[in-house]
Amino acid sequence: MGRQRPYLGSKWLQVVEQALATRMGCRFPCVLEGTDIVRVYHVFCPDGAHLLHIRKWEKHSWDGKLDAASEFCIWVHVSMKAALFFAAAVIGSVFAGQRPQSIAFSWPEDDTKKHYDETMDPLTQNIPLDPASKDLRPPPPRVPETYGIFVGLSTFRDGHRCGYTLFTGFKRSVNPDRLYFGVVDQVNPEDLRCLDEYCKLAKAEWPDDECKYKAQIKIDERLADDSRGPTYARHHQQKLVGDQEFCLQLDAHSIFTNGWDKHLVDEWVSTENEMAVLSTYLHHCHDGYILPDGSNNAPDQLPHLCTTIRGGNGCVRTVGASMIQRPQYPQMQALWGAGLSFSKCHAEKRVLIDSHTLWMFDGEEFLRASHLWTYGYDMYSPSMRGTVIYHNYTSVPARFEHVKVDAELKRKQEEMGANRFKLMVGLPFKGLVDTEEWAKYDWGKVRPFEAFLDFSGITFEEGKKDAHSCKQLHWVPYVKPAQIEELLPGWRLRMPAAAAVDEGLPVAADDDDMPPNKKMRQEKPANFGIEATIEHPESGSYTGPLAFMCFGVVLFGVVVYTNDGMWSQTKRYFRLQHKARN
């Protein structure tokens, strides 16, 4: 299999063995990481991390078997790499905070045109780009001492997998007593019910209860043949939200990992934005990411939504997901994914899902993103910490497109929904359009829709194509902040009192201005993260001879390891020494 792929260091490598067996396979060019001496490189693909055995194309032929000298060199390589990583962990924590996140994306959708941006700096993403607004910040997150989480699911004739979703959610939650599910269960008379399937699992797990946590599950059962697409189902799903603090939307065939609720809230808090919405497409659950005991083994490559095209109905479609390499912070994005959406519940109560876009698939996620943004919300893709839920991508038992409905009626409803989309975004259309409850589902007033188009790169101008948003985005201040200020008593969109803004990071308002009995996340000091510099304390903890010697060894190792010529000479030396002894 002689497929050629470019190495990031501008060297050409040739694959000499296929990737290890995977369920989905690699559908995009992979990011290679390694060195020519080891001849085994880690290949990070969209559906997991796999190994490829490769060799340099230009020289150093190899018969596929490592001789003793190569094995010795591998040991040297691995030992040095481990030492460098250990040293970085001990004396380089500041550097770790400085490392930017990198993204790989296709634009246009073509495997031969893979793009990389290694300058994603999420620690600055809440700082506006406009110099006139550089001192403004989004409202800081507010988390009460105790809180409930609502999980909304809409399922279509998929009771077995839906029941398992509920089961893993309760079983692997830190606070199951404060967890609530709302399920729109679209079934036909002969189908399995989501609640029944959950109760079977719950009875086996907690035999002392007939169906533990059943009282915390709301079911809106509907006839499957009355289904009219995902937006119609999610419209009814929103009605199941109670007085919980946080709301999570998922597909009804998702699987949770241990401690997911705590980790997800911690991830949301780390956005430093009360109006944050964590959203993404989930990884498949059968790639070794969920260990048998429910522990999480998150992949290195995590999805980030930043590219769009037009679907068959002329509406906006998100082009799969781009990949960020081991993100340590939530990354601001312009798009929203239906696979996972986590926010404060005021987002679900303020930004309603339009029930007049029947049968819509392409266009649903764009409408949700644009409405959330114009209402003052900001989307972020989760980091490694927030990747705690996975998706079952095996074949679904049935699809809503195949419900029994009059063909002409369906065609008319599809046309009216698509035309409603076009009317909303200002596109011309032909045929019927549904304008019922127009004001109820119009754009928000906090930020204008036109500003969202600029922010996302999406355009509806004739003859133009969308631009990608696979770059570091920055928070856009509210044009009309009154609604947000009313929602969050005590917060005002105003200049921060502290003078540390020039250091490049947001600062919190004065404690006296914070609402009583509300715990707010403390902002990081101005010398934290990307803008930080290394400061040696006067105590001399790093001034001793041992520290200097360690630093010198690490510095020498870095120079040798990153310099091809010196590394080659080092390898040659060890080979000769090994052969001389043998």
So what's the pLDDT on residue 202?
A: 99
Domain presence at residue 312: yes
Task: Name the token pair of 537.
Answer: 């304390």
Domain presence at residue 84: no
Are 501 and 438 contained in the same domain?
Answer: no
The CA R_g of the chain, rounded to the nearest whole Å, is 26
Is the model's pTM score more than 0.85?
no
Are 269 and 253 contained in the same domain?
Answer: yes
Domain presence at residue 118: yes
- Euclidean distance between CA atoms 471 and 384, whole angstroms: 19
Residues paired with residue 344 on neighbouring β-strands, in sequence order: 246
Domain presence at residue 479: yes
So what's the pLDDT on residue 144?
A: 97
What are 480-519's pLDDT values in tens digits?
999 999 999 999 997 545 433 444 444 434 443 433 333 3
Are 313 and 415 contained in the same domain?
Answer: yes
- Beta-sheet pairing, 340-344 with 246-251: antiparallel
Residues paired with residue 275 on neighbouring β-strands, in sequence order: none
Are 255 and 281 contained in the same domain?
Answer: yes
Domain presence at residue 571: no
Are 373 and 511 contained in the same domain?
Answer: no
Task: Name the token pair of 409.
Answer: 């009626």
Q: Please provide the DSSP assignment of 348-376 as one string.
A: HHHSPPPTT-TT--TTHHHHHHHHHHHTT
So what's the pLDDT on residue 47?
A: 34
Domain presence at residue 542: no
Domain presence at residue 568: no
Alpha-carbon distances, residue 483 vs 197, 479, 519 (angstroms): 42, 11, 21
Using alpha carbons, select from 306, 321, 328 the residue that is nearest to residue 382. 328
Residue that is last in its domain, among 457, 472, 488: 488
CATH code, domain carrying 436: 3.90.550.10
Are 520 and 373 contained in the same domain?
Answer: no
Give 459: exposed, middle or buried? Use CB within 10 Å, 0-12, 13-18, 19+: middle
In order along its 582 residues, the chain shows pLDDT tens digits of: 333 333 333 222 333 223 322 323 322 233 333 333 233 333 333 333 333 333 333 333 333 433 444 444 445 544 554 554 454 444 443 333 345 677 776 655 555 556 667 778 999 999 999 999 999 999 999 999 999 999 999 999 999 999 999 999 999 999 999 999 999 999 999 999 999 999 999 999 999 999 999 999 999 999 999 999 999 999 999 999 999 999 999 999 999 999 999 999 999 999 999 999 999 999 998 768 999 999 999 999 999 999 999 987 889 999 877 999 999 999 999 999 999 999 999 999 999 999 999 999 899 999 999 999 999 999 999 999 999 999 998 877 666 566 788 889 999 999 999 999 999 999 999 999 999 999 999 999 999 999 999 999 999 998 899 999 999 999 999 999 999 999 999 999 975 454 334 444 444 344 434 333 333 333 333 222 222 222 333 334 444 555 556 566 556 665 555 555 555 555 555 455 544 444
Are 355 and 440 contained in the same domain?
Answer: yes
Residue that is last in its domain, among 429, 460, 488: 488
Q: How many domains does the chain have?
A: 3
Are 413 and 308 contained in the same domain?
Answer: yes
Task: Name the token pair of 181.
Answer: 């599910």
Are 303 and 392 contained in the same domain?
Answer: yes
Are 293 and 366 contained in the same domain?
Answer: yes
- Euclidean distance between CA atoms 31 and 45, whole angstroms: 7
Domain presence at residue 68: no
So what's the pLDDT on residue 103?
A: 76
CB atoms under 10 Å from CB of 207, counted, come to 9
- Cα angle 117, 29, 468 (rounded to 5 degrees) comes to 40
Range of the domain at 4: 1-56
Q: Which one-letter DSSP state was computed for residue 148?
A: -
So what's the pLDDT on residue 375?
A: 99
* C-alpha dihedral, 224 to 230 to 232 to 233, nearest 10°: 60
**Omega before 139 cis (within 30°)?**
no
So what's the pLDDT on residue 341?
A: 99
Are 189 and 275 contained in the same domain?
Answer: yes
So what's the pLDDT on residue 67?
A: 42
Are 366 and 465 contained in the same domain?
Answer: yes
- Euclidean distance between CA atoms 192 and 171, whole angstroms: 21
What are 27-43's pLDDT values in tens digits?
223 333 333 323 333 33
So what's the pLDDT on residue 513?
A: 40
Helix (H) or strand (E) holding 578: helix 564-581
